[in-house]
Amino acid sequence: MEIHEVLLLLAAGLFAGTVNAVAGGGALLLYPALLSVGLTPVAANVTNSVAISPGYVASIFGARRDLKGQRARVRASIPTAVAGTVAGSVLLLVTPASAFEAVVPYLVIGAALLLAFQGQVRKLVGHPASLPTWLGHVLVGLATVYGGYFGAALGVITIAVLSLVLDETIGRITALKNVITAASGLTTVVVFALFGPVDWLAVLLLTPMTVIGGFAGSKLARVLKPAVLRVVIVAFGLTAGVYLLIRG
């Protein structure tokens, strides 16, 4: 690996960890960077998932104050996230290498629009307090199936679905999102380490940067006003989706 390729991955890892903690979707910064240093699409995808996962864990510690009072939700969400991620990871490994590129842009754009029009959607489905608990598990499960399959913008999708079923501030929802994405990310580490074509040199370079970025990004998310944070998440989600659509 050339020095300019190393520097590219280090910078992409730092920004990806930061963006993941604030809004989600930071893996979209790493995916093209990994492609540019010569990895195949599937190898870039699984390496991306493994390298970004420690940053998710760091973001939990950075936002732990917003997790107070959510212990029951955390305990209930983790098994669902693990099961969904395993299903998505297996789906990636057994389907054609180019299959995910056709559907991912629409999933990301749809999630961003869902968050943008959350108020209107809530009028249709009802207030979070009136929705059944099982619906939250179904939505988190579907989000993490996507997370195991591709992973980029999982945070955007997770915040979008949690906002439908939880009557909480965007900051507290973001903190819970960090737990779910961390559980999903660590699951992909296990699955892809055993069965996927991971580039471990790239992981070694990226992991420290995603951890630093994840911790810093979680602190940044706490000081942003809720309205600003929502706009950032929606804007990044739409940008990421359009980028993937054009690239495909």
- pLDDT tens by residue, 184-212: 989 999 999 999 899 999 999 999 998 89
Give the pLDDT score at 194.
92
CA 102 to the chain's CA centroid: 19
Element (H, E) at 65: none
pLDDT of 129 above 80: no
CA torsion sign, 107 to 108 to 109 to 115? positive
* Alpha-carbon distance values, 189 to 48, 148, 182, 194, 195 (Å): 10, 10, 11, 8, 10
Distance CA 136, CA 167 (A): 12
Average pLDDT score, the chain:
83
The burial of 135, by beta-carbon neighbours within 10 Å (0-12 exposed, 13-18 middle, 19 or more buried), is given as: middle
More confident residue, 23 or 144: 144
Longest alpha-carbon distance in the chain? 56
241 within 8 A of 105, measured Cβ to Cβ: yes
- Which tokens go with 137? 């598990």
- Which tokens go with 213? 């970025």
Which of helix, strand or coil describes residue 106?
Answer: helix
* 30 pLDDT tier (thresholds 50, 70, 90): confident
* 141 pLDDT tier (thresholds 50, 70, 90): very high
Give the pLDDT score at 248.
66
- pLDDT tens by residue, 60-101: 877 788 888 888 899 999 999 999 999 999 998 888 867 777
More confident residue, 40 or 22: 40
196 within 8 A of 94, measured Cβ to Cβ: no
CA nearest neighbour of 189 among 16, 71, 54: 54
Distance CA 160, CA 137 (A): 14
Give the pLDDT score at 216.
84
CA torsion sign, 235 to 237 to 243 to 246? negative
* Alpha-carbon distance values, 148 to 118, 160, 187, 232, 247 (Å): 25, 17, 8, 24, 21
Percent of the chain residues past pLDDT 90, beyond the cut: 26
Residues 6+ apart with CB under 8 A from 248: 101, 102, 105
Residues 6+ apart with CB under 8 A from 12: 29, 30, 33, 206
